[in-house]
Chain A
Amino acid sequence: MTRPRPGSDGRLLSADGLTAQRGGRDVVRDVSLELRAGEVVALLGPNGAGKSTLLDALSGVLVPSAGTVERHGRVAVALQTPDLARRSVLTNVTLGLSWWGVPREEREPRARAALGVLGADHLADRSALALSGGERRRVHLARAMAVRADILMLDEPFAGLDPESRASLLEDAVSALHSKTRATLVVVHDRAEAWALADRLLVLIDGRLVASGPPRDLLESPPTAQVARFLGFDGSLEQGGETLLTRPPHVALDPTGPLEARVTRAIGLEDGVRLELELDRGRLYTVAALPAPQPGDTVRVRVRGGARFASVAQEL
């Protein structure tokens, strides 16, 4: 079997003006994007943004109502629900390889290798019925990775896991997902997962692709106030006809700071307190170390960084 060659400049998938429907309603609208060999791209968006629908349309599961998708290679998808056959873990992964069309003699070594990469090789002989949620996710991912697709798409691979299992799987997935020859698209719901995994971030809001770029670049200069809000810029301050949007790390309590604020809410966190600060021209949020000011206290504040927008009120 000849391996399909990537398009020019390593493109493995390109979508142009893609519109996809669910139940007769446009859920994804006019999306254009590219996936290149060697990159891991995170697709991030709020609930109902159309992430899974976009993934279905890109993978070919759903026929788009408008636009085109060009794929240079085979696409493997790991769906959101990690349902496994009532058989051993190893058989589940080899089954995936048989569906993919891998010759019989190659299946077991490839299945064991994929399980090993995801730290699940010790589960190989265990019944899939006896796995924990985190283990099921690992096997589910291994099944999709074992086929060695040119384009790998994962739909919320960490959904429904407790924080410990998620952190552990995320740690293993970071190295497992990077491959020089494969393009990987991961639908995530949590920003922390996107920062950990992705070389590039796509932000989908209300069915439209509203931002694309390396995670750090998007955090430093979000293209719109809507994207900034979604990326966690929850503070807002009116300054000189502009709106400054901030994330908690941009705001620091400083006795010599230029701004005066009143603490209106304090929520305890594992390593400090999240403070809501009310100012004359806005509301900011920060995380302070203990002992922290109490609601009603007046504090001095310094803002470093943030993103400025001309007319946030109209845009939001």
Chain B
Amino acid sequence: MKFLWEELRSAFPLIYQGNPYLLNVLWVTIRVAAISTVAAIVIGLPIGVTIGLGRFRGRRALQVFANASLGLPPVIAGLVLFLLFVPQGPLGSLQLVFTLKAVYIAQTVLALPYIVALTAAAIQGLPPGLLAQARVLGAGRGQLCVLALREAKVGVIAAVIAALGSTLSEVGAVVIVGGNVQGYDQTLASSVLQQVDSASYAGAIAIGLILMALILALLGVLTVLQQRQGGIGLRFRTPT
């Protein structure tokens, strides 16, 4: 217990003194999370909406694939991407391995299933009469998509929360494709790994606390957005 307390006491100065190394890792983490989540939303939302609203052949197979991808182990995703990106691999000419771009791609690949599968499920859970009514009153494809996304807002934001959470906390794929290069593509989560490896427990604790605070702040904002106008405003009166 004494050991833990001492490491914790050593960790706090690292946080409030604005250690440049920590600030750099924090900035890389925010960039990776923002770019990967936005990329996953841009790619995944149309796919999720298509699966949720569509009545085409192969829709179910797509949904099974999206759901199964939720269980994709990050190290496996990282390994596959690494093998694609290494100079001898099919995409070797792009020279992506051990670059920040590879980290963005890996995090996007891992966040995408959350956006696709949870968006599709949220839309499929909407009352079917509403979308059918919109169709019979002449709603175009774009209007149907907007209606479905608005109505499934709670589920869609849950998908974004899950995706963002994944990009903030994932380690395996980032280390494999990015190399965990300090000061370049190292994120908060992957730097914890490095700090533990080098027995710098105070540093690991400081980074862990920053990571947890970042996750709480970002996902907290999204949760507030998610719950805004989400209910009918029932108030429960406490018995007097």
Contacts and interface: CB of A to CB of B under 8 A. Distances in A.
Count class of interface residues, chain B: 20 to 34
A79 B132 CA distance: 8
A79 B151 contact: no
B151 A86 contact: yes
Nearest to B143: A99
Contacts of A101: 138
A275 interface: no
A141 to B, nearest CB: 12
B129 A81 contact: yes
26 contacts: A59-B136, A76-B136, A77-B137, A79-B136, A81-B128, A81-B129, A82-B129, A83-B128, A83-B130, A86-B150, A86-B151, A86-B229, A86-B230, A87-B150, A95-B134, A96-B133, A98-B143, A99-B134, A99-B140, A101-B138, A129-B231, A129-B232, A130-B232, A140-B133, A144-B137, A147-B137
A272 to B, nearest CB: 40
B127 interface: yes
Interface in A59-108: 59, 61, 74, 76-87, 95-96, 98-101
Given A79-B129, A130-B233, 13 more contacts: A59-B136, A74-B138, A76-B137, A81-B127, A83-B127, A83-B133, A85-B147, A86-B150, A99-B139, A100-B138, A101-B138, A144-B137, A147-B137
B151 A99 contact: no
B137 A96 contact: yes
Interface string B42-86: 000000000000000000000000000000000000000000000
A181 interface: no
Interface of B: 127-130, 132-140, 143, 147, 150-151, 229-233
Contacts of B232: 127, 129-130
A82 B127 CA distance: 10
Interface in A136-184: 140, 143-144, 147
B137 A100 contact: yes
A84 B138 contact: no
A281 B19 CA distance: 104
Contacts of B138: 74, 99-101
Contacts of B147: 85, 95
A147 B140 CA distance: 16
Contacts of A59: 136
Nearest to A131: B232
B79 to A, nearest CB: 43
Across the A-B interface, give the 5 residue pairs with the lowest CB-CB distance, nearest first: A81-B129, A83-B129, A99-B139, A83-B130, A83-B127
Contacts of B129: 79-83
Count class of interface residues, chain A: 20 to 34
Contacts of A147: 137
A199 to B, nearest CB: 24
Given A83-B129, A129-B231, A130-B232, A99 B137 contact: yes
A130 B229 CA distance: 12
B130 A85 contact: yes
B236 to A, nearest CB: 16
A313 B220 CA distance: 74
A98 to B, nearest CB: 7
Contact of A85 (B132, B137, B150, B230): B150
A94 to B, nearest CB: 12
Contact of A77 (B127, B136, B140, B143): B136
A101 B150 CA distance: 20
A140 B143 CA distance: 19
A101 B140 CA distance: 10
Contacts of A81: 127-129
A127 to B, nearest CB: 6
A77 B151 CA distance: 21
Contacts of A96: 133, 137
A61 B136 contact: yes
A84 B136 contact: no
Contacts of A74: 138
A111 to B, nearest CB: 13
A83 B148 CA distance: 13
A87 B133 CA distance: 15
A85 B151 contact: yes
A115 to B, nearest CB: 16
- Of the listed residues A76, A77, A83, A129, the one surrounded by the most CB atoms of chain B closer than 10 A to its CB is A83
A306 to B, nearest CB: 42
B205 to A, nearest CB: 43
Contacts of A84: 130
B151 to A, nearest CB: 6
B127 to A, nearest CB: 4
B225 to A, nearest CB: 15
Contacts of A127: 232-233
Contacts of A76: 136-137
Contacts of B130: 83-85
